[in-house]
């Protein structure tokens, strides 16, 4: 399904539906297609928003987790969103964590899936190798439990991204920034109800990472999905959406009892 990409100032984004904002942050090789099933499921109840993160458009000095968080903060301010349910996958989860630590006032709940911020095993100094299609294909496949999820279209997309020298430099800059930005000592400051959805077969941020987040974030709950890798919302969208829906419904019910 094609969605209209809106533009306001320098911000490009998708916005579908009405209600409280459900704001989705994609990862380093993420695309809008990563969230298609999630958008379709939740747009009848929420305002589903997907900002296109400027992963490769920032100058090298700001090509960091912090630089991306500043972009998200300015986007939220420009759009005037409040009571946000903030969801991030992989690097997007890391950006979401930094945001909720710096600007908690507009965030109603936090959802992390395969998030970096404690441990990252997917982006090393040898990755990505420019011009090596089979290497990129293998690296893309390990994102998933089922290698067939790495369609030719997806592999071609990642290959094109990694075939540009400047882009590769920025990928490595973001990877190193993610490794340096370990949030372990700050996570106990998060007050928002937090949902952790993890693939039991995630080898990029393995299951122990989800357990560690669960231990360190006070008001958090953790769910594992079997036969699932680093991108549960893509690989097992049905199960992912049901878990997320129950969590968001619970937040509504709690808010109603307080009111």
Total tally of structural domains belonging to the chain? 1
Which tens digits make up the pLDDT trace of 11-37?
Answer: 999 999 999 999 999 988 776 778 999
* Residue 217 belongs to a domain: yes
Which tens digits make up the pLDDT trace of 229-251?
Answer: 999 999 999 999 999 999 999 99
* Residue 49 belongs to a domain: yes
* Residue 66 belongs to a domain: yes
* Residue 236 belongs to a domain: yes
Domain, as residue range, for 217:
6-122+183-258
Q: What is the CATH number of the domain that holds 62?
A: 3.40.50.1820
Which pairs with CB-CB distance under 8 Å and at least 24 residues apart come from 121-124? 121/203, 121/204, 121/205, 121/206, 122/90, 122/204, 122/205, 122/230, 123/28, 123/171, 123/172, 123/174, 123/175, 123/178, 124/175
* Residue 201 belongs to a domain: yes
CB 230 within 8 A of CB 119: no
* Residue 138 belongs to a domain: no
* Residue 161 belongs to a domain: no
* Residue 58 belongs to a domain: yes
Cis, peptide link before residue 128, omega less than 30° from 0: yes
Mean pLDDT of 150-162: 87
């Amino acid at each position: 399904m094609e969605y209209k990409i809106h533009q306001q100032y320098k911000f490009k984004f998708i916005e579908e539906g009405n209600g409280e904002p459900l704001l989705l942050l994609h990862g380093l090789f993420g695309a809008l297609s990563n969230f298609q099933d999630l958008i379709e499921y939740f747009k009848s109840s929420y305002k589903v928003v997907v900002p296109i993160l400027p992963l490769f458009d920032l100058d090298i000095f700001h090509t960091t987790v912090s630089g991306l968080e500043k972009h998200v903060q300015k986007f939220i301010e420009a759009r005037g969103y409040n009571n946000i349910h903030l969801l991030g996958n992989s690097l997007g989860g890391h950006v979401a964590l930094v945001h909720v630590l710096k600007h908690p006032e507009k965030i109603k709940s936090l959802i992390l899936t395969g998030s970096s911020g404690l441990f990252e095993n997917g982006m090393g100094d040898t990755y990505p190798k420019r011009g090596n299609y089979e290497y990129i294909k293998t690296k893309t496949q390990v994102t998933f439990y089922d290698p067939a999820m790495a369609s030719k279209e997806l592999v071609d997309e990642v290959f094109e991204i990694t075939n540009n020298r400047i882009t590769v430099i920025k990928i490595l800059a973001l990877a190193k920034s993610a490794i340096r930005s370990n949030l372990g000592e700050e996570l106990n400051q998060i007050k928002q109800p937090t949902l952790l959805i993890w693939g039991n077969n995630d080898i990029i941020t393995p299951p122990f990472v989800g357990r560690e987040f669960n231990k360190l974030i006070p008001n958090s709950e953790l769910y594992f999905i079997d036969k699932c890798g680093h991108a549960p919302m893509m690989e097992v969208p049905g199960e992912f959406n049901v878990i997320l829906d129950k969590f968001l419904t619970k937040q509504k019910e709690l808010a109603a009892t307080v009111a």
